[in-house]
Amino acid sequence: MTKPPRNDPDELLIGLVSISDRAAAGVYQDQGLPALQDWFATAIASPWRMESRLIPDERAAIEQTLIELVDVAGCDLVLTTGGTGPARRDVTPEATLAVATKEMPGFGEQMRQISLQFVPTAILSRQVAVIRETTDHAALIMNLPGQPKSIKETLEGLKDADGKQLVHGIFAAVPYCIDLIGGPYIETHDAVCKAFRPKSAIRTKS
């Protein structure tokens, strides 16, 4: 399948999926999507645009949405919020694994390590990250927390009062991961989140 055209060769296409029965039904206003949009607006220095979806906690709907965002919309990175706990309706990790080509367990491990700095119930989170590959495209899919504060902490990590990084956030590893699967070269604003790449993978500026 041919990828949709990009406004720039290095434009990052981001898919955002908020998974909540009540928010999808209009019972309350979704907070996950605005929090993610605000964070990317401050963190990404290179070209990017996004596709967003608000859907209920239905496994079939989650799987279909993830597949559509990667295979049809051509997203390089897909982030979900919600549905990762132990409750009966929490099926986001199962849906994510069902559409995966390979798992990336380090992301989930680090997300729980960050959250454990604040609450002992972080061990109840079942967030996963995976790669989905098609014939000519690949994307990183990650499950994030549902609360705006937790989303920011998970992506950025923890810093002291002087800005020194105490615990690395997961997004520091995302640009290089996207490099490795053939996606665009992502640059970040270091004050928010400094992307890490081996020296051999850093693009020199002309």
Backbone torsions φ then ψ of 128, nearest 5 degrees: -130, 165
165 domain-assigned = yes
* Confidence band, pLDDT 50/70/90 cuts, at residue 2: low
> For the chain, what is the domain count?
1
Task: Provide the whole-model pTM.
Answer: 0.94
- Torsional class of 163: left (φ above 0), alpha (ψ -120 to 50), beta (otherwise): left
60 domain-assigned = yes
2 domain-assigned = no
Q: Domain range holding 141?
A: 12-200
Contacts of 16 (CB under 8 A, 6+ apart): 32, 33, 36, 37, 50, 51, 52, 53, 78, 79, 81
Residue 107 identity (one-letter amino acid): F
Q: Across residues 173-202, what is the average pLDDT?
A: 96
206 domain-assigned = no
Residue 71 identity (one-letter amino acid): D
* Confidence band, pLDDT 50/70/90 cuts, at residue 1: low
At 89, list the tokens.
């309706």
DSSP element (H, E) containing 119: none
* Confidence band, pLDDT 50/70/90 cuts, at residue 206: low
170 domain-assigned = yes
Q: CA 123, 120, 81, 167 torsion: positive or negative?
A: negative
35 domain-assigned = yes
24 domain-assigned = yes
Q: How many CB atoms lie within 10 A of CB 28?
A: 9
81 domain-assigned = yes
- What's 179's domain CATH number? 3.40.980.10
